[in-house]
């Protein structure tokens, strides 16, 4: 365990250095491109897509610089950031997505039919979005449409509506200081992106807005997510790496630290469910959940899984969370129905192992926890340390190997812990 701790520490040091490199790599050019100089109007009515893009292109041609939005509401369709460009939104300034759905072109995104995001970058490096302003996706009309469409939230099932901010195969990316809200779907998506920092960002959407995940790292690596406040309609964070029934190949999401965050509403801090490339070296510390559906969640199924390992959650507090700890290989179900038969192991079979959860305090929870694997792929080496959960119902463990110490479950109904014959549990 000591060796593992040194590895985690080295990972965090590496990520911290990576974050410093992001800052150092940002353009030093004095070029400032004020969008108003390119014809933009901050009246919330005039459509500024061309003006903002012209400012970005001008800064890019100069070798890099800062595109400034200041004072008022800039209505816009999709814009594309380029290498060495910082988009800066001054306090009191809003970049507002156009309500006209025709402004968002269809495109292949994440290997499936999609729609262009309001802000995106592809194959770019040394880019940033900064400032205390707001990026607002104006998603209400898209949500209404999604509620009428079956499987509207499943990538590959239908043409996916726009995300809000997408970094596709980018490097050295920073988002800091702003509010991101009301996306038509997922809000911030690093896709096959390396070395990204998201810090001091507020991410908001109504509680029942469909698929408004706050941050979805997708096959991305070397990420720092720090001091994020997320109050949304779906996963507060969902770490992904491949679509359902993916033919592959898929890269894992790896080397991600999540620290000092607060999550209200939403579906918790998730790894999965679309995890066909796997995930590893993910560490979350000092996270507070209030009113989320779940707290800690690792989820997959036989049609979307892979290896998920070297995962840790530490110093976690929760209140009014429906399920405090949820590790399940049966998503979207939590537990299997009836007798369970083993299935052949394939490239999409989930295998969760080497997961440590420590220093957790959860009050007024609905269910203390579920840790359940597949008969052909049990969850292995889950370590629980210093767990204190007060819940209506206890914890269920099946097809899993769990060890630990100082696990205290106080439940109002039923057994504190139900261990199936298929599980091995050794808790002191």
Nearest to 332 by CA among 158, 153, 192, 200: 153
- What is the DSSP-derived secondary structure letter of residue 19? H
What's the pTM value of the predicted model, to 2 decimals? 0.91
Q: State pLDDT tens for residues 291-345.
A: 999 999 999 999 999 999 999 999 999 999 999 999 999 999 998 877 689 999 9
Q: State pLDDT tens for residues 30-89.
A: 799 999 999 999 999 999 999 999 999 999 999 999 999 999 999 999 999 999 999 999
Q: Which two tokens stand for residue 289?
A: 């959940």
Tell whether omega for the bond before 96 is within 30 degrees of 0, i.e. cis. Answer: no
Ordered by where they begin, the domains of the chain are 2-427 (2.160.20.10)
Phi, psi of 60 (to 5 degrees): -65, -45
Q: Are strands 106-109 and 112-115 parallel, antiparallel or unpaired?
A: antiparallel
Specify burial of residue 24 (Cβ count, 10 A radius: 0-12, 13-18, 19+): exposed
CB atoms within 10 A of CB 70: 17
Q: Which two tokens stand for residue 10?
A: 């080295």
User: Can you tell me whether residue 248 is helix, strand or coil?
Assistant: coil
What is the Cα–Cα distance from 201 to 181, expressed in whole angstroms? Answer: 10
Grade residue 24 by pLDDT with cuts at 50, 70 and 90. very low
241 φ/ψ sector (left φ>0, alpha ψ -120 to 50, else beta): alpha
Q: Which residues contact 138 (CB under 8 A, 6 or more apart)?
A: 96, 97, 98, 99, 182
Nearest to 277 by CA among 110, 409, 61, 66: 110
Question: Do residues 350 and 377 lie in contact, with contact meaning Cβ atoms separated by under 8 Å?
Answer: yes
Q: State pLDDT tens for residues 176-224.
A: 999 999 999 999 999 999 999 999 999 999 999 999 999 999 999 999 9
* Mean pLDDT, range 212-239, rounded to an integer: 98
Q: Give the Cα-Cα-Cα angle 124, 128, 132 (nearest 5 degrees).
A: 155
Q: Name beta bridge partners: 299.
A: 328
Specify burial of residue 107 (Cβ count, 10 A radius: 0-12, 13-18, 19+): middle
Q: Is the pLDDT at 416 greater than 80, yes or no?
A: yes
* Mean pLDDT, range 357-375, rounded to an integer: 98
């Amino acid at each position: 365990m000591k060796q593992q701790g040194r590895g985690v520490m080295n990972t965090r040091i590496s990520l911290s250095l990576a974050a410093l490199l992001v800052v150092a790599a940002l353009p030093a050019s004095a070029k400032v491109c004020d969008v108003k100089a390119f014809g933009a109007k901050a009246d919330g009515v005039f459509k500024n897509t061309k003006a903002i893009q012209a400012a970005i292109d001008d800064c890019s041609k100069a070798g890099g610089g800062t595109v400034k939005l200041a004072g008022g509401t800039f209505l816009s369709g999709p814009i594309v950031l380029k290498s060495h460009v910082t988009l800066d939104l001054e306090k009191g300034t809003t970049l507002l997505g156009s309500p006209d759905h025709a402004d968002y072109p269809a495109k292949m995104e994440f290997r499936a039919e999609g729609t262009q995001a309001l802000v995106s970058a592809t194959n770019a490096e040394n880019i940033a979005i900064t400032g205390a302003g707001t990026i607002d996706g104006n998603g209400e009309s898209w949500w209404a449409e999604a509620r009428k469409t079956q499987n509207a939230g499943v990538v590959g099932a239908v043409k996916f509506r726009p995300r809000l901010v997408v970094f596709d195969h980018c490097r050295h990316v920073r988002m800091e200081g702003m509010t991101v809200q009301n996306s038509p779907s997922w809000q911030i998506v690093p896709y096959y992106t390396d070395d990204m920092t998201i810090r001091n960002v507020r991410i908001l959407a109504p509680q029942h807005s469909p698929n408004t995940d706050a941050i979805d790292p997708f096959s991305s690596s070397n990420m720092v997510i720090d001091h994020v406040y997320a109050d949304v309609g779906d996963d507060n964070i969902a770490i992904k790496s491949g679509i359902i029934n993916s033919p592959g190949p898929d890269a894992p999401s790896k080397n991600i630290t999540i620290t000092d965050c607060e999550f209200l509403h939403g579906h918790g801090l998730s790894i999965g469910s679309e995890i066909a490339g796997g995930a590893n070296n993910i560490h979350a510390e000092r996270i507070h959940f209030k009113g989320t559906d779940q707290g800690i969640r690792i989820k997959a199924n036989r049609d979307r899984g892979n290896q998920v390992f070297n995962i840790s959650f530490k110093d976690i507090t929760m209140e009014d969370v429906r399920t405090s700890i949820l590790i399940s290989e049966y998503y979207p179900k939590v537990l299997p129905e009836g007798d369970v038969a083993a299935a052949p192991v394939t490239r999409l079979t989930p295998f969760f192992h080497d997961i440590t959860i420590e220093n957790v305090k959860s009050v007024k929870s609905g269910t203390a926890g579920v840790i359940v694997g597949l008969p052909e792929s049990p969850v292995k080496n889950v370590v629980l340390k210093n767990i204190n959960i007060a819940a209506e119902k206890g914890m269920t463990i099946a097809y899993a190997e769990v060890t630990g110490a100082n696990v205290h479950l106080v439940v109002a109904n039923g057994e504190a812990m139900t261990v199936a014959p298929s599980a091995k549990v050794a808790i002191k």
